[in-house]
């Protein structure tokens, strides 16, 4: 046998094993606009090579399930009202999620407080997005609370999920300067646009192995992030979103 024959038998005629795409499961409760941002990013190959394999909702008629179905993604309704306790529901949810073998679980408007059992099961593999500059305004009604306090800046945060509500290590934030005539509705619209910008980036970084959860906090490329994570300024976010900047915001 010649050397050429040997190489042909062992290299040229062997088909490499295909590498499976990282698997993402998204949890929702409602409209699913952040889900749509992730679907759009995936369609443009901007999700770190990841594939959304399932969307699960605790609300049976959530519009986000239609978004998933239209995109050819497995859409699963698992209504929480059919379970006697939070623990029973989370136990069932764990089973449904694990059936899809995810590398990452993304909470996109999932309006449930998670049990410690659930969090510990997927610790380090769960991201959430919250409509405030954490640690400010954890919980609900963030825009109304920010306006009531007269804050000059607001925004959104992507963070790892831990047992503390909205208290996990922050990965990425986008800032928004609050104008004098801002309302809850206008603030919500501007913050939501920033959510749609940030979330696919954070998911991409995680699936590329750049973003990691550690006992010390979130790390990016091996470096520990500050408490507020990486922050996109108002001007930079506005530029990415093609928003008009007034003179005050450019100072």
pLDDT digits (tens, 9 = 90+) for 54-103: 999 999 999 999 999 999 999 999 999 999 999 999 999 999 999 999 99
Asked if residue 234 lies in contact with residue 153, where contact means CB atoms within 8 angstroms, the answer is yes
Sequence-ordered alpha helix ranges (H) in 71-161: 86-99, 116-121, 142-149
Better-predicted residue by pLDDT, 48 or 2? 48
Q: Which residue has the tokens 């399932």?
A: 54
pLDDT tens-digit readout, 202-220: 999 999 999 999 999 999 9
Residue positions annotated with a catalytic role: 130
Annotated binding site for (6R)-10-formyltetrahydrofolate: 86, 111-114, 128
Q: Inform me whether the pLDDT recorded for 165 exceeds 80.
A: yes
Which whole number is the average pLDDT over 177-199? 97
Q: What is the pLDDT of residue 247?
A: 43
Q: What is the pLDDT of residue 243?
A: 86
Q: Which residue has the tokens 């699936």?
A: 207
Q: In what order do the strands lie in the sheet with 23-28?
A: 74-77, 51-57, 23-28, 104-107, 126-130, 153-160, 170-177, 230-232
Annotated binding site: 32-34, 86, 111-114, 128
Asked if residue 122 lies in contact with residue 104, where contact means CB atoms within 8 angstroms, the answer is no
Choose among 159, 156, 167: nearest CA to 232: 156
Which whole number is the average pLDDT over 105-120? 98
d(CA 58, CA 61): 9
pLDDT tier for residue 10 given thresholds of 50, 70 and 90: very low
pLDDT tier for residue 20 given thresholds of 50, 70 and 90: confident
Which whole number is the average pLDDT over 221-244? 94
Q: Locate 113 and state its tokens.
A: 């407080």
Q: What is the pLDDT of residue 18?
A: 55
Class of 130-251 per CATH? alpha beta
Q: Inform me whether the pLDDT recorded for 111 exceeds 50.
A: yes
Asked if residue 105 lies in contact with residue 27, where contact means CB atoms within 8 angstroms, the answer is yes
Q: What is the pLDDT of residue 188?
A: 97
Q: What is the pLDDT of residue 248?
A: 39
Question: Residue 239: is the preceding peptide bond cis (ω within 30°)?
Answer: no
Residue 124 neighbours by CB distance under 10 Å: 16
d(CA 83, CA 76): 16
Residue 163 neighbours by CB distance under 10 Å: 14
As annotated, the residues of the chain forming the CATH 3.40.50.170 domain(s) are 21-122, 130-251
DSSP 8-class letter at 11:
I
Query: Structurally, what CATH architecture does the domain formed by 21-122 represent?
Result: 3-Layer(aba) Sandwich (3.40)
Q: What is the pLDDT of residue 2?
A: 44
């Amino acid at each position: 046998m010649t050397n050429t024959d040997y190489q042909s038998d062992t290299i040229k005629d062997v088909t490499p094993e295909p590498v499976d795409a990282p698997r993402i499961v998204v949890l929702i409760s409602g409209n699913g606009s952040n889900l749509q941002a992730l679907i759009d990013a995936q369609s443009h190959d901007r999700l770190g090579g990841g594939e959304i394999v399932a969307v699960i909702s605790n609300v049976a008629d959530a519009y986000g399930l239609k978004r998933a179905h239209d995109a050819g993604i497995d859409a699963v309704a698992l209504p929480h009202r059919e379970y006697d306790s939070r623990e029973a529901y989370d136990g069932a949810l764990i089973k449904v999620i694990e059936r899809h073998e995810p590398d990452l679980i993304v909470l996109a408007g999932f309006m449930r407080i998670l049990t410690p059992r659930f969090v510990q099961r997927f610790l380090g593999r769960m991201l959430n997005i919250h409509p405030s500059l954490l640690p400010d305004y954890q919980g609900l009604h963030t825009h109304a609370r920010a306006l009531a306090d007269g804050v000059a800046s607001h925004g959104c945060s992507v963070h790892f999920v831990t047992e503390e509500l909205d208290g996990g290590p922050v990965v990425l934030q986008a800032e928004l300067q609050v104008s004098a005539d801002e309302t809850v509705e206008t603030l919500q619209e501007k913050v939501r646009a920033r959510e749609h910008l940030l979330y696919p980036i954070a998911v991409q970084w995680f699936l590329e192995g750049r973003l990691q959860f550690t006992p010390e906090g979130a790390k990016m490329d091996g470096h520990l992030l500050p408490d507020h994570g990486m922050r996109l300024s108002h001007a930079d976010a506005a530029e990415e979103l093609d928003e008009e900047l007034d003179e005050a915001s450019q100072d």
